Structure 1
Amino acid sequence: MSTGRPLRADARRNRERILRAARLAFAAEGVSVPLDEIARRAGVGPGTVHRHFPTKETLFEAVVVEHLEQLTKDAQAALQAGRPGSAFFAFLTRMTGEADTKQDLADAIAKSGAGMESTTQRAAAGLRETFAVLLERAQHVGAVRTDVDAEDVQAIVLAALTAQRQRADTDRPDRLAGLVLDCLRPNASATESRR
């Protein structure tokens, strides 16, 4: 809910506290956390939460947008790195590591085209565009196989994360994500073509 005017300093602080509490609550417990509980964790009254976010859906979307925007900033920073291949794999490793602990955010990002507000769609589009450039640069230097595109990588990573959560392999928590990263390297496609 935006009036177009900048928030006063205390209102801005309250909004940030609400977003921080909601981000932690949604990541740990899912979207079923009541708004009143988020208000309690943020140290504000329920009315303050409702003034900033009239529904749980608007609060959840604000958390998703904030997360997407942070990932986009991180991807843009990776673009500035001197080694495109290392930067791509480091960014992808970070994304997969976070997605496993932030299940609802990962699910929302995966579905960010369907039923989401235009702000969320724009944030998701910005991340997809930046990620595509990051991938293309890594492919250009031969660090990533050239027969995949950004949509392929997203689908493969999400599938691996879903399978990883279902397996609940506590002895090897990053095994499937690691296998996915290895499959994106050029020698994986060369091995497949020889079979």
Structure 2
Amino acid sequence: MSETAGARPMRADARRNKERLLAEARVAFAARGTGASLEDIAGRCGLGIGTLYRHFPTRQALLEAVLFEQFSALAVSGRDLLHHRSAREALITWTRAFVSTTTTYRGLTATLTATLRDRTSELHASCEAMRDAGAGLLARAQRAGGIRPDIEATEFLTLISGIAWAHEQATSTDHPGQLDRLLGMVFDGLTPTGNGHSSPGKSS
């Protein structure tokens, strides 16, 4: 994330420390999930936990910094997909990207679900941008008749967060094609009766 306008420029050594902490956090979260030890992250950089907390005062702040670009990309892709010729396919494409992003690190799905409800969380703004992107695509698909009109954005996000959690628990080796099947079942259930839309992963 960029430095706040008007703030003192970060010293070069402090900037290097911050970048090292972010790089090690990505490795630690990928290997051990979002609950990875912050002390270990700092130690692997040859730094004390106090240095980590000076840059990232909470675990949520560290997660925000690690995930900011991915979350921003989801929000941007959601806005871009509003121009896709098929509103339903745009929603499916974004949903797949959402699941992929939110299962990057084990435990992230639960963190995001809690964050969407907690306006004081440092991850809340990024999660809200993603939520708004998904809600816009859902509304467009409903207006186009590709998705049932009786599902609300919060309900849709609950459904796909559940898919993300299930996908997070299994490896692709143990359950090949699981994501396509889960998405297919959900979008079958969201299809207005008689519309004849094909599910994700199926040919039209």
Whether 2:139 is the aligned partner of 1:136: answer yes
**2:24 corresponds to 1:18:** no
Change (3 A) 1:52 1:87: same
List runs of 5+ in structure 2 lacking aligned partners.
197-204
Residue 51 of structure 1 deviates from its aligned partner by 2.4
Give 5+ residue unaligned stretches, structure 1. Answer: 191-195
Q: Do residues 182 (structure 1) and 188 (structure 2) align?
A: yes
Kindly state the Cα deviation for residue 5 of structure 1 after the two structures are TM-superposed.
0.9
User: Structure 1's 138 and 60: CA in aligned 2 closer, same or farther, altered over 3 A?
Assistant: same
- Give the number of aligned pairs: 189
CA distance in 2, matches of 1:15, 1:77: 32
Give the Å deviation of 1:6: 5.5
Contact 2:131–2:157 under 8 Å retained in 1: no
**TM-score under structure 2 length normalisation:** 0.70
Q: Is residue 158 of structure 1 aligned with residue 164 of structure 2?
A: no
Provide TM-score, normalisation by structure 1. Answer: 0.73
Q: 1:130 to 1:99 in 2, by over 3 A?
A: closer
Preserved contact between residue 75 and residue 133 of structure 2 (Cα < 8 Å): yes
Hey, what's the Cα distance between the residues in 2 that align with 1:141 and 1:18? Answer: 46
CA distance in 2 between counterparts of 1:89 and 1:110 reads: 20
Between 1:159-168 and 1:91-100, the stretch displaced more is 159-168
Residues 86 and 7 (structure 1 numbering): CA distance in 2 closer, same or farther, change over 3 Å? farther
Provide the C-alpha distance between the structure 2 equivalents of 1:176 and 1:188, rounded to a whole number of angstroms.
Answer: 21
2:175 to 166, 170, 173: 170
Moved more, 133-142 or 5-14: 5-14
Give the Å deviation of 1:139. 1.7
Q: Quote how far apart the aligned CAs of 1:91 are.
A: 0.6
Q: Secondary structure at the match of 1:50?
A: helix
Displacement of 1:138 in angstroms is 1.6
**Which of 62, 72, 75 is the equivalent residue of 2:75?**
72
Question: Percent identity over the alignment?
Answer: 31
User: 1:170 & 1:39 partners in 2: Cα distance?
Assistant: 35
Partners of 2:130 and 2:192 lie apart in 1 by: 24
CA distance 1:160–1:127, shift in 2 (3 Å): closer
* 1:163–1:25 distance in 2 versus 1, CA, 3 Å: same
Higher helix share: 1
Q: Which moved more, 1:14-23 or 1:103-112?
A: 14-23
The structure 2 residue matched to 1:45, chosen from 33, 37, 47, is 47
Conserved in 1, the CA contact under 8 Å of 2:25 and 2:41? Answer: yes
Whether the 8 Å contact between 2:102 and 2:108 is mirrored in structure 1 is: yes
2:99–2:160 contact (8 Å) kept in structure 1:
yes
Name the residue aligned to 2:86.
Answer: 83
- Residues 52-99 of structure 1, C-alpha deviations (whole Å, 9 max, x = no match): 123434323444555433322232232243433222110101112333
Structure 2 CA distance for partners of 1:151 and 1:9, relative to 1, 3 Å: same
Q: Following TM superposition, by how much is the alpha carbon of 1:12 offset from its aligned partner in structure 2, in angstroms?
A: 4.3
